[in-house]
């Protein structure tokens, strides 16, 4: 019994490391001309990870449904963009043309998290 | 949920036929679902997923003018209403959980809880259902959020709360159904803990929300400057309309005692206007036809009409509000480092929880299952990444707002952080230390000349000059009612002065070198000139037909508060350097009067930036204060560039900081506020780090082997709820900060 419990705990730790750091969540593919709609609700951005082509302007539209103050801003730290998201509205955010790489966006407290994967 | 509805004011629509072309321009913008132009009101309503700027660009491209009709007021009210609704909902959730939790807790303290073995299972079953109700009603969002985050390979606060309270409830329910799976002494149920934790977290979030509201007080105060209605003249009638309905180029009436609604130009009447709220200028400013008026300022005396030139988001006030807002949103380097930690925090806490479980399971005392559950749950509940994430932005928000109260507009958080580290402040002279408005200060005459004649000839020759000092001399002559003659054969001799013929006589006007070049006998004048220069005045010699006529001395008065402001900088250990294109003697005299440590004079505007760079190479952290136009390269080069603004020119691109009040006190205020803000951020970060790095090990039971102390999960829940609130409350203390020696 004790061995099984220990084994399960170690497996759980491995799972935590794998799930949150090593494995990649599903990425939504988007065309350059699309306005990508992102819903802000229940502690998550949906979709949270978006793949876009490089060298193009990225247009996002954040629809904040969560009135919690955690959701009130979206911060693209690498791009130095911070935008207020009024509750119940769609707020447009557009970036300049992006070079290949991963650009994170999050709430101010890093609880809502997402990324733009530019390829 | 619908897409945005945007209202625009459309200018330059001369006929009803324009309606179709404006509508066509609007509909051509991608994302627009509908557009309708109202010709009578010169407005357009547009729906769709589109930005106002894209619409404005399209209308302008079609040959019309446009501006967004959205009061900052309206936005703020919407935000406040949404926040209040959320605050009430949090309180309601806290109340429901609190009442049930307090009842359970009270019964437990009074020993009224029946034991599982003693036939209390039915009672506990009711408690299990009641607490499940609380978890769903008051804590449902944590579970939904945790699940959604998990699916997105993310973990957040919700994950910790849901796991902590969910485990407590699930474990207790399992014990309730199958008590025999654990020894009798381990049959403790944690329903009340789960319920009270949910109550405390909701209460903490509600209080945090209230405290957060106060952090944006500065913005609200700025928004409050804007009146809600305006009196427009339409079809010859004056009518009051909501400010959002004022169109571009409309005529507005302002009566004494009323606030000016939008920016514009006076077209009829005159008045004295109190602009202190925007420019900090304490005395009312006289305004006549053709003068600009600024929205949000107060009309003190006369009634006048003005034409609206900037409305909605384009007014000076709206731009100030936007600039403060953007700065409040920006994050300095200190915050980015913390973000990296906050980003991995929750999964690390999950790992620590599993390690805690393993340690207690393998080496903990009996009853193991009770200890394992208690410690693991407490670790999950006590950890608070929110306090870490909030520490920097919440203080920046208050600090930037506080600076705005003192007329100091900070462009980004990085400048706010950097200002407190300055070791040297470099000042431009004209317009920065001095008023930037030279006036004639002294007239010294030779034998046979009087002051009026001297000034009249000097003004006559200077009336053809473009030199900045020439304007002062001409103004002095016209103020005294002196008649000016025509200057013929005018010639400017660079670096020396001017020569021309006035009333048929040969006139020379300029510096000592000009006189020497023409071998003019100056007699006692050079002594007088030296005395004037030592006093900070610029002496100019006048010679007529080869003989000295006298000296006209011009000085740019030093701002009344420059010396006091420089003294404040000295007090905080900052070296003050003056960098000017003026001659060394005058610059030294001005520097002496205001207590400047070092003067670098006769520097061409283009070389100022190199001088700043030199100081930086010497290890100094340099703040440059200048006018934002001539000094732009030096401002950009400096570690922090301060532009001296006056009134409406709020968004000086080259500067990190704009001093709206045109006073050097703003530099000292900015530095003091920066230091206070960085101190506040450090306190927040220290508190949040200490809280988590002490709290988590204690929750894991590190004190148990030595002192037998284990943290109650309810206490952990309370501590967690309070940690974010403490950070916000500490940031709010900044609102009470007053820079030492500040003028406001």
Region for B249 from its dihedrals, namely left if φ exceeds 0, alpha if ψ lies in -120 to 50, beta otherwise: left
Which residues in B lie closer than 8 A to residue A77 (C-beta atoms)? 331, 336, 339
Interchain contact, B49 vs A19, CB within 8 Å: no
The C-alpha of A15 sits at a distance from chain B's nearest C-alpha, in angstroms, of 10
Any residues with CB less than 8 A from the CB of B219 and at least 6 apart, and which? B76, B321, B324, B325, B328, B401
Stated length of chain B:
744
Which residues in B lie closer than 8 A to residue A111 (C-beta atoms)? 156-158, 385-386, 389
Candidate ranges A44-58, B43-57, B157-171; pick with highest mean pLDDT: B157-171
Mutate to test the interface with A, among B4, B31, B156 (most CBs of A within 10 A): B156
Interface of B with A in 122-141 (CB under 8 A): 141
Q: Which residue has the higher pLDDT, B591 or B495?
A: B591
C-beta separation of B246 from B43 below 8 A: no
Any residues with CB less than 8 A from the CB of B151 and at least 6 apart, and which? A25, A44
C-beta separation of B496 from B510 below 8 A: yes
B259-314 pLDDT, tens digit per residue, is: 999 999 999 998 888 887 776 566 788 888 999 898 988 898 888 999 999 888 88
Report whether pLDDT(B634) > 80: yes
Report whether pLDDT(B249) > 70: yes
Q: Which residue has the higher pLDDT, A83 or B379?
A: B379
Nearest CA in chain B to A67: B86
| pLDDT, mean of residues B45-68 | 81
What integer pLDDT is reported at residue B71 of this predicted model? Answer: 56
C-beta separation of B228 from B73 below 8 A: yes
> Catalytic residue numbers of B?
428
Which residues in A lie closer than 8 A to residue B688 (C-beta atoms)? none
Q: Which residue has the higher pLDDT, B126 or B384?
A: B126
Distance, in Å, from the CA atom of A82 to the CA atom of A69, rounded to the nearest integer, reads 15
Interchain contact, B351 vs A13, CB within 8 Å: yes
Q: Which residue has the higher pLDDT, B743 or A99?
A: A99
Interface of B with A in 537-576 (CB under 8 A): none
Report whether pLDDT(B744) > 70: no
Q: How confident is the model at residue A71 (pLDDT cuts 50, 70, 90)?
A: confident
Interchain contact, A42 vs B209, CB within 8 Å: no
What integer pLDDT is reported at residue B651 of this predicted model? Answer: 46
Of A2, A20, A35, the CB nearest to B155: A20
Q: How confident is the model at residue B574 (pLDDT cuts 50, 70, 90)?
A: very high
The C-alpha of B330 sits at a distance from chain A's nearest C-alpha, in angstroms, of 7
B311-348 pLDDT, tens digit per residue, is: 888 888 888 888 888 788 777 777 777 777 877 889 99
Any residues with CB less than 8 A from the CB of B110 and at least 6 apart, and which? none
Interface of A with B in 40-69 (CB under 8 A): 41-46, 48-49, 61, 63, 65, 67-69
Query: In the sheet that A35-41 helps form, which strands lie side by side, from edge to edge?
Result: A44-46, A35-41, A59-64, A90-94
Which residues in B lie closer than 8 A to residue A85 (C-beta atoms)? none
- E-state strands within B111-247: 229-234, 237-242
Which residues in B lie closer than 8 A to residue A19 (C-beta atoms)? 150, 153
Nearest CA in chain B to A41: B145
Give the closest residue to B268 by CA, choosing from B251, B285, B284: B251
Distance, in Å, from the CA atom of B695 to the CA atom of B387, rounded to the nearest integer, reads 13
Report whether pLDDT(B647) > 60: no
> Which of B7-11, B429-433, B461-465, B559-563 has the weakest average pLDDT?
B7-11
What integer pLDDT is reported at residue B539 of this predicted model? Answer: 87
What integer pLDDT is reported at residue B80 of this predicted model? Answer: 79
Report whether pLDDT(B133) > 70: yes
The C-alpha of A38 sits at a distance from chain B's nearest C-alpha, in angstroms, of 13
C-beta separation of B135 from B198 below 8 A: yes
Of A16, A41, A48, the CB nearest to B350: A16
> Which of B120-134, B156-170, B486-500, B524-538 has the weakest average pLDDT?
B486-500
Q: How confident is the model at residue B485 (pLDDT cuts 50, 70, 90)?
A: confident
Q: How confident is the model at residue A33 (pLDDT cuts 50, 70, 90)?
A: low
Of A13, A61, A114, the CB nearest to B354: A13
Report whether pLDDT(B598) > 50: yes
Distance, in Å, from the CA atom of B588 to the CA atom of B599, rounded to the nearest integer, reads 6
Alpha helices in B535-664 (DSSP H): 562-571, 584-594, 608-617, 632-637
Candidate ranges B182-191, B279-288, B717-726; pick with highest mean pLDDT: B717-726
Q: Which residue has the higher pLDDT, B465 or A56?
A: A56
Percent of chain B with pLDDT over 90: 29
Of B78, B148, B331, the CB nearest to A86: B78
Distance, in Å, from the CA atom of B621 to the CA atom of B305, rounded to the nearest integer, reads 49
Distance, in Å, from the CA atom of B329 to the CA atom of B522, rounded to the nearest integer, reads 63
- Report the helix count and the strand count for chain B, using DSSP H and E: 25, 26
What integer pLDDT is reported at residue B139 of this predicted model? Answer: 93
The C-alpha of A68 sits at a distance from chain B's nearest C-alpha, in angstroms, of 7
Distance, in Å, from the CA atom of B592 to the CA atom of B584, rounded to the nearest integer, reads 12
Of A21, A88, A111, the CB nearest to B157: A111
Distances (CA, A) of B455 to B118, B468, B540: 111, 16, 11
Cβ-Cβ pairs closer than 8 A, A with B, add up to: 145
Q: How confident is the model at residue B64 (pLDDT cuts 50, 70, 90)?
A: confident
What integer pLDDT is reported at residue B1 of this predicted model? Answer: 35
Average pLDDT of chain B is: 85
Bridge partners of B555?
A: B439
Distance, in Å, from the CA atom of B677 to the CA atom of B1, rounded to the nearest integer, reads 39
Q: Which residue has the higher pLDDT, B663 or B574?
A: B574
Which residues in A lie closer than 8 A to residue B150 (C-beta atoms)? 19
Report whether pLDDT(A107) > 70: yes
The distance in angstroms from the start CA to the end CA of chain A is 49
What integer pLDDT is reported at residue B629 of this predicted model? Answer: 65
Which residues in B lie closer than 8 A to residue A17 (C-beta atoms)? 347, 351
Q: Does B88 touch chain A (CB under 8 A)?
A: no
C-beta separation of B297 from B259 below 8 A: yes
C-beta separation of B361 from A6 below 8 A: yes
Interchain contact, B86 vs A46, CB within 8 Å: no
Distance, in Å, from the CA atom of A111 to the CA atom of B159, rounded to the nearest integer, reads 10
Residue with tokens 């999964």: B347
Interchain contact, A13 vs B355, CB within 8 Å: yes
What integer pLDDT is reported at residue B149 of this predicted model? Answer: 86
Distance, in Å, from the CA atom of B654 to the CA atom of B642, rounded to the nearest integer, reads 9
Interchain contact, A42 vs B141, CB within 8 Å: yes
Of B212, B354, B388, the CB nearest to A9: B354
What integer pLDDT is reported at residue B692 of this predicted model? Answer: 87
Three-state secondary-structure class, residue B147: helix
Structure tokens at B463: 């009336």
Quote the crossing angle between the two packed helices B217-224 and B316-329, to the nearest 10°: 170
Report whether pLDDT(B237) > 70: yes
Nearest CA in chain B to A86: B79
Nearest CA in chain A to B724: A109
Which residues in B lie closer than 8 A to residue A61 (C-beta atoms)? 49
Report DSSP state, residue A70: G
C-beta separation of B214 from B735 below 8 A: yes
Interface of A with B in 6-45 (CB under 8 A): 6, 9, 12-13, 16-17, 19-21, 23-25, 35, 41-45
Nearest CA in chain B to A115: B152
What integer pLDDT is reported at residue B494 of this predicted model? Answer: 66
Report whether pLDDT(A1) > 50: yes
Report whether pLDDT(B82) > 50: yes
Distance, in Å, from the CA atom of B295 to the CA atom of B222, rounded to the nearest integer, reads 11
Report the predicted TM-score, pTM, of the whole model to 2 decimal places. Answer: 0.77
């Amino acid at each position: 019994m004790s061995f099984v419990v220990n084994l399960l705990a170690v497996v759980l730790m491995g799972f935590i490391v794998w799930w949150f750091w090593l494995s990649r969540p599903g990425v939504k593919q988007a065309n350059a001309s699309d306005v990508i709609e992102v819903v802000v609700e229940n502690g998550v951005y949906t979709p949270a990870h978006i793949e876009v082509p490089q060298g193009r302007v990225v247009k996002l539209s954040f629809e904040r449904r969560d009135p919690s103050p955690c959701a009130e801003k979206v911060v693209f730290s690498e791009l130095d963009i911070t935008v207020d998201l009024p509750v119940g509205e769609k707020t447009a955010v557009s970036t300049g043309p992006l070079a290949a790489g991963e650009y994170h966006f999050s709430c101010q407290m890093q609880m809502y998290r997402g990324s733009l994967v530019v390829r | 949920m619908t897409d945005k509805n945007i209202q625009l004011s459309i200018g330059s629509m001369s006929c009803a036929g324009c309606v179709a072309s404006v509508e066509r321009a609007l509909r051509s913008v991608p994302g627009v679902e509908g557009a309708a132009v109202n010709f009578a009101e010169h407005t357009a309503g547009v729906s769709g997923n589109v930005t106002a700027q894209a619409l404005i660009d399209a209308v302008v491209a079609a040959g019309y003018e446009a501006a967004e009709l959205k009061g900052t007021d309206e936005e703020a009210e919407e935000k406040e209403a949404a926040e209040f609704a959320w605050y009430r909902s949090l309180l309601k959730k806290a109340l429901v959980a609190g009442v049930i939790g307090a009842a359970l807790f009270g019964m437990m303290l009074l020993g009224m809880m029946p034991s599982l073995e003693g036939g209390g299972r039915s009672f506990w079953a009711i408690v299990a259902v009641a607490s499940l109700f609380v978890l769903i009603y008051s804590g449902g969002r944590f579970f939904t959020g945790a699940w959604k985050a998990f699916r997105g390979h993310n973990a957040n606060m919700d994950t910790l709360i849901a796991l902590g309270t969910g485990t407590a409830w699930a474990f207790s329910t399992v014990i309730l159904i199958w008590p025999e799976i654990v020894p009798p002494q381990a049959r403790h149920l944690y329903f009340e803990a789960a319920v009270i934790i949910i109550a405390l977290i909701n209460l903490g979030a509600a209080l945090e929300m209230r405290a957060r509201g106060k952090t944006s007080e500065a913005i609200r105060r700025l928004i409050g400057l804007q009146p809600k209605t305006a009196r427009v003249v339409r079809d010859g009638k004056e009518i009051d309309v909501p400010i959002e309905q004022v169109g571009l180029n409309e005529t507005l009436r302002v009566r004494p005692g009323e606030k000016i609604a939008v920016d514009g130009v006076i077209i009829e009447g005159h008045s004295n206007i109190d602009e202190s709220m925007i420019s900090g200028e304490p005395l009312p400013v006289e305004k006549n036809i053709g003068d600009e008026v600024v929205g949000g300022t107060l009309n003190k005396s006369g009634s006048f009409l003005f034409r609206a030139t900037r409305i909605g988001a384009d007014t000076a006030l709206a731009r100030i509000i936007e600039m403060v807002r953007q700065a409040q949103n920006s994050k300095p380097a200190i915050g980015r480092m913390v973000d990296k930690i906050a980003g991995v925090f929750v999964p690390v806490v999950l790992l620590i929880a599993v390690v805690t479980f393993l340690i207690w399971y393998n080496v903990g005392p009996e009853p193991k299952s009770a200890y394992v559950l208690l410690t693991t749950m407490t670790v999950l509940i006590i950890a608070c990444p929110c306090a870490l994430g909030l520490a920097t932005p919440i203080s920046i928000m208050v600090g930037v707002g506080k600076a705005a109260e003192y007329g100091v507009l900070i462009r980004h958080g990085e400048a706010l952080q950097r200002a407190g580290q300055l070791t040297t402040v470099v000042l431009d002279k004209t317009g920065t230390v001095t008023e930037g408005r030279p006036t004639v200060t002294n007239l010294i005459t030779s034998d046979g000349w009087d002051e009026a004649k001297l000034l009249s000839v000097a003004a006559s020759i200077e009336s053809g000059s473009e030199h900045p000092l020439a304007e002062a001399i001409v103004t002095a002559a016209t103020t005294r009612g002196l008649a000016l003659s025509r200057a013929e054969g005018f010639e400017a001799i660079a670096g020396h002065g001017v020569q021309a013929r006035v009333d048929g006589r040969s006139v020379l006007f300029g510096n000592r070198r000009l006189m020497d070049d023409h071998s003019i006998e100056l007699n006692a004048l050079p002594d007088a000139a030296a005395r004037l220069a030592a006093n900070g005045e610029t002496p100019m010699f006048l010679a007529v037909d080869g003989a000295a006529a006298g000296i006209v001395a011009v000085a740019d008065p030093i701002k009344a508060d420059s010396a006091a402001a420089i003294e404040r900088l000295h007090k905080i250990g900052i070296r003050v350097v003056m960098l000017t294109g003026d001659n060394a003697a005058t610059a030294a005299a001005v520097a002496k009067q205001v207590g400047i440590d070092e003067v670098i004079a006769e520097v061409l505007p283009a070389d100022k930036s190199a001088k700043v760079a030199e100081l930086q190479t010497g290890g100094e952290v340099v703040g440059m204060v200048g006018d934002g136009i001539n000094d732009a390269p030096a401002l950009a080069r400096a570690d922090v560039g301060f532009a001296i603004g006056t009134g409406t020119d709020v968004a000086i691109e080259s500067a990190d900081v704009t001093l709206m009040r045109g006073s050097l006190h703003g530099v000292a205020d900015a530095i003091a506020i920066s230091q206070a803000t960085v101190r506040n951020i450090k306190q927040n970060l220290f508190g949040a780090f200490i809280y988590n790095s002490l709290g988590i090990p204690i929750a894991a039971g590190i004190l148990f082997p030595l002192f037998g102390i284990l943290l109650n999960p309810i206490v952990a829940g309370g501590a967690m709820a309070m940690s974010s609130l403490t950070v916000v409350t500490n940031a709010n203390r900044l609102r009470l900060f007053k820079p030492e020696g500040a003028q406001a």
